[in-house]
Copies of this chain bind each other. A is one copy, B any other.
Amino acid sequence: MPGSATSNRRTPALTREQVAHRALEVLDREGVEGLSMRRLAADLGVGTMTLYGYFRGKAELLDAVVDAASEDFDPPAPRGTWREQVVAYADATRAWLLRHPVVVQRRGEAAIQRPAASRITEGLMRLLLDAGLEPPEAARAFRALFIHVFGSVAFAPREATAQEARELHAALLTLADDEFPALRAVAPHAADALGGAEQFRFGTELLLDAIDARRGR
């Protein structure tokens, strides 16, 4: 049947979304260095250059990857005080970024202007406005929280393991006591503050203490 063979040829074997989702899977699993156009194409069972029929280049593919990741954001149920809601929203955003480190990396290169990602921004901004912040203060408070969330994932993503905690403690105690008295003094506590969920919560609460105190002032 030549007719049906012809129409089959006109139907692309893949969609942009399928390619982007597969790329996201690879990035989630193997990390941000793990994706190349060649490797992704091989993964999908197509020639490398086939991908360039779907995307102008890797940058455009990564935009679509961020869109695919954005679908996976899990907004918390709006329960509790505004402050509890912001805490829950920050935690949800952190968890989302930990699942999809490519989003953090991509945001480090340039601001993300994608409708799907803007929905996540919208949710937090709305909580701040609903809390009674005026738009200028809401914008500033939003950015401070944004930096805290992205900064935590980029620079303090997880707790130290017991092994790492011991090593960090020991490493700090090897420092000269005349030159590093402060680092030596906090050595037993450094691992607790290295990163992870508790340290993240601590930072969120600090910011909210101050945002709350300034509210309506």
Chain A contacts to B: CB under 8 angstroms: 107-108, 111, 113, 115, 118-119, 121-122, 125-126, 128-129, 135-136, 138-144, 146-148, 150-152, 154-156, 171, 175, 179-183, 185-186, 188-190, 192-195, 199, 202-203, 205-207, 209-211, 213-214
Contact = CB atoms under 8 A, between A and B. Distances in A.
Given A136-B186, A147-B152, A150-B151, 7 more contacts: A128-B182, A129-B186, A144-B148, A147-B155, A150-B155, A206-B211, A213-B213
Contacts of A128: 182
Contact of A179 (B122, B181, B206): B122
B182 A129 contact: yes
A128 B141 CA distance: 24
Contacts of A118: 175, 180, 183
Nearest to A190: B139
B150 A154 contact: yes
A169 B93 CA distance: 24
- Specify how many copies of this chain sit in the oligomer: 2
Contacts of A182: 122, 125-126, 128-129, 138
B150 A203 contact: no
A205 B210 CA distance: 9
Contacts of A119: 179-180
Nearest to A126: B182
Contacts of A211: 206
A1 B175 CA distance: 48
B138 A203 contact: no
B108 A186 contact: no
Contacts of A136: 186, 189, 192-193
